[in-house]
Amino acid sequence: MKALQGAITSETVSHAYLFSGSRGTGKTSIARIFARELGTAEDDIYEVDAASNNGVDEIRELAEAVFTLPFRSQYKVYILDEVHMFSKAAWNAFLKTLEEPPSHVIFILATTELEKVPETILSRCQSFVFKKPSRVMLREVIERAGKNEGVKLEEGVADLIALFGDGAFRDAYGTLEKLIGSKTDGKKDTKITLAEAEEILGAPKEELLLAYVSGLANKDVEACLTAVRTLGASGADTTKAFELIIERFRALLLLAISPSSADTLSTELSEKTYDTLQTLVKAKSSIISSATLVKLLDAYGRVKTSPIPELPLEIVAVEILQ
């Protein structure tokens, strides 16, 4: 956010900003940080949940309140979260305030649905798009957070947390806090093993994912079915397991057809997973193909409608190998 840093340094602050992006990407957190960096005291920062304050009466009250001078700061900062929830009448009422705001007021609008924000509002705001962090970025953030908390994360734990973060910083931090909170020994300087993380999060074990992928590559349907049965018995999230199997088979295919992908994949995957896939590539199996990947994707689409969660994984293995 160099533009925001530049605005603070050069003292060329706009009176309206719009932060858009998917949930958990840091929109509200950055808004709070930006307000504090402007020197705004806590009692001059106002957070409004537009999801529950989206009527014209609430906006008219806000329009009157903005003319009151700040208590202890140069600015009053209003952070309006989920603004796409405003009613049409509320937008019209807010537009009048946005067109001619008091000099001491800054509005920061945050939304997960940019397309629902009227053009008349967009044209009066400096807009910033918050992109979803990659798995690698989330993993690095979690590794740093673990160190700051004095917690040692075994190899693979940060990657697992990044997976459950599902592209959201907030969810990833929440997952890390859940794991730290599960340690009952009261010691801050502790270690979280991959086995502990898998059990607490209900995550599928990596060895079973690799057993399924290896079964496909080696044309061993029994190995695939055994891996699926064990996954089911472990109580792991079958949908998440299927996602990870597809991800690993994709990596396997990339290694087979594009050796230049190796450097990137070696940073995205754990050492054990990467080494296993490299070994499978050397076998040059005819099953390692885009056709197999397409069949896996088609089967994944049937997971939510299957009466037995493991059934699509079993059927697709039989279809591919027999």
Domain ranges of the chain: 14-130, 135-201, 206-321
Structure tokens that stand for 193 in this block: 């093993």
Residue range 115-171, pLDDT digits in tens: 999 999 999 999 999 988 888 889 899 999 998 888 899 888 998 898 888 788 888
Using a cut of 0.75, tell me whether the model's pTM lies above it. Answer: no
The rounded distance, in Å, linking the Cα atoms of 72 and 174 is: 33
The domain 14-130 is classified under which CATH number: 3.50.50.60, 3.40.50.1820, 3.40.50.300, 2.40.340.10? 3.40.50.300
Domain 135-201 -> CATH class? mainly alpha
**For residue 279, is pLDDT > 60?**
yes
In CATH terms, 206-321 corresponds, of 1.10.760.10, 3.40.109.10, 1.20.272.10, 1.20.1510.10, to 1.20.272.10
Residue 188 pLDDT exceeds 60: no
Query: Which of 111, 35, 110, 37 has the alpha carbon at shortest distance from 76?
Result: 35
Instruction: Please state, in angstroms and rounded to a whole number, the distance separating the CA atoms of residues 118 and 101.
Output: 18
Q: How far apart are CA 266 and CA 321, in angstroms?
A: 28
Provide the pLDDT confidence category of residue 52 given band limits of 50, 70 and 90: confident
Is 60 exceeded by the pLDDT of residue 222?
A: yes
For residues 207 and 183, give the distance between their C-alpha atoms in angstroms, rounded to a whole number: 24
- Amino acid 318: pLDDT: 96
